[in-house]
Amino acid sequence: MFAARGYHATGVADIIEEAGVARGTFYLYFESKRALFDAVLDEQLAAVEEGIHRVDVSPGATPALDQLRAHVRWLLQLPETRPRLVQLFLWEAVGLDEKTDAKLDSFHQRIFALTRRSLVLGTALGLVRECDPDIVARALVGMVKEVMVSLTVRKDLPEPDVDRLADEILDLATGGVLRLE
């Protein structure tokens, strides 16, 4: 309901009616609408983090690019498989208040740090070119995040083919945009 109607437009009465529970039952588990919102947001952010895995570069492992493609596809499927999750943490929760913004920023900082570590490791292994991992991590996360917003909130991509989108993102990440001949 928070994703569909927005935080402010959703009341406790709406929540209990949708859930089919009594008001007392709601307050048995949550002290307020805000407490429920925080619990939902925490659960959704944890679900996204659980789906992000380190690329396995051990002998015999699937090629790194194929693993990255699978990760990007998984993320890009979230707008279809869990649209409310994506709308909630990429759109509805942003700017709600300082506490929520701090929670979202903490989540993004963890994702940036994971991506940065992957870039540093990839550079050490010779899989990633020399780069500023802080800037590149944010750019990579931003690419995926913006496409997810377009799929979920704006719905302005003419063809939301996850495989094609993942390939475009990876082509951009691996080859850039310009032809330098």
* pLDDT tens digit sequence for 26-42: 999 999 999 998 998 88
Is the confidence at residue 160, as pLDDT, over 80?
Answer: no
**Calpha distance 119→14 (Å, rounded):** 45
* pLDDT band, very low/low/confident/very high, at 144 (cuts 50, 70, 90): very high
What is the predicted pLDDT for the residue at 133? 94
**pTM score:** 0.80
Task: Please give the CATH number for the structural domain made up of 37-175.
Answer: 1.10.357.10
Helices 64-81, 162-175: axis angle to 10 degrees equals 140
Share of the chain above pLDDT 90, in %: 43
* pLDDT band, very low/low/confident/very high, at 146 (cuts 50, 70, 90): very high
